[in-house]
Chain A
C-alpha cells in the first residue's frame, strides 16, 4: 500500500486514519447518501483519490464527489456538500 507519487484510486477504508483524526472514531462503516444520485455507500467503500495530504471521496454509484478532506499545517478542512446525510451506528 505504499502509494506512488501520482494520484491513484483507493478505497475510503484506506484513509480511515485521516477520518479518525477528525471524527475520533471509526467511520468507515458509516453510510453516506450521495446528494446527486441518492445512493447510500459505506464510507470505506467509496472511491478515494488522494492520500495522506487529503482525499476526495466519490460515490460508488455515480462517481460524484460526496466529501472532500484536506489536511493543512494548521488543521483539517472537511467539505460534505456532495452528501445529503451521514449515518453512523453506535459502536459496540
Chain B
C-alpha cells in the first residue's frame, strides 16, 4: 500500500469516541492487548497515542494515555496494556475487560513521537517492557508497506515470558527485509539463551545499533529510568539529540 493512502489528517477538535472491545489477547501474564472498533477513527501515524477515559457509575472519571500498537494499515485499533499495581485504569483494562465492553477514547494524539516509512531511516528502536507498543506500530507499518529500510529493535524485558509480541517479532525478523531484533533479559534467562543478559548499557547500544555517522532516527520508549539512561548513553556514543525521540511512561515497568 503506498504511503499516500494513510490519512494523516488530525481532527481539528479532539473528540471523545466510543471504543468497543472486539478481542482481548493475552500477551504475557501481566500484559493484554485490546483489539478495538472505534467508530469514526480517523487513522493514526505510528507512534501516536490515545487518551482513555473511564467513567464510574457515580460520575468519577479516570484518564490515562496509551500508545496505539497497531499499524495504520490495520482496520482495528490495538492498545497494549500492562497491569500496574494500584493503577485504577490499567487494572481494569488489563484484567477485567471483556469483548463487547465499551469505553471512551480520544485521538490519535501527538505528532512528535512518530515514524513513517516516508521519514526514512535507518531506524533504531529501543524499548523497555510495555514501551514496545508504539515501536511495534512502527515495525508493523514498515512490514505492511514491505519497506526494506534498515531497522534495529533493541528490546529489554525482565524474563523470556515477559517479552511482549515475541512470536510476531520472530516472524518480522525472519522476513530478512533489513530488520534486526535483539532481546536482552535483565532478571532471568532461559537455558541456551543467546541474547543479552543485562540492562541496556552504552556498550550494548554501540554494538547493536546503527553507527552515529548513518544518522539513524532513534525512538526510545519505556520506564523513565531506562529512557534517560539510554538517551544519555546514545549522546555519549555520538548520536545527535535532534534525532533522539523519547517517550517515558513513569517510574514503574521493566
Contact = CB atoms under 8 A, between A and B. Distances in A.
Interface centre among B8, B65, B82, B251 (most CB of A within 10 A): B65
Interface residues of A, number: 30
A41 B13 CA distance: 25
B65 A20 contact: no
Contacts, number: 96
Interface centre among B89, B90, B250 (most CB of A within 10 A): B250
A83 interface: no
Interface string A22-44: 00111011000000000000111
Interface residues of B, number: 36
Interface of A: 1-6, 8-14, 16-17, 20-21, 24-26, 28-29, 42-45, 52, 60, 91-92
Interface of B: 8, 10, 12-14, 49, 51, 63-67, 81-82, 84, 86-87, 89-90, 106-107, 109-113, 224, 241, 245-252
Interface centre among A10, A29, A43, A92 (most CB of B within 10 A): A10
Given A4-B84, A13-B112, A14-B49, 7 more contacts: A1-B249, A4-B250, A16-B109, A17-B14, A17-B106, A24-B13, A42-B112
A62 to B, nearest CB: 14
A3 B250 contact: yes
Contacts of A29: 111-112
A52 B109 CA distance: 14
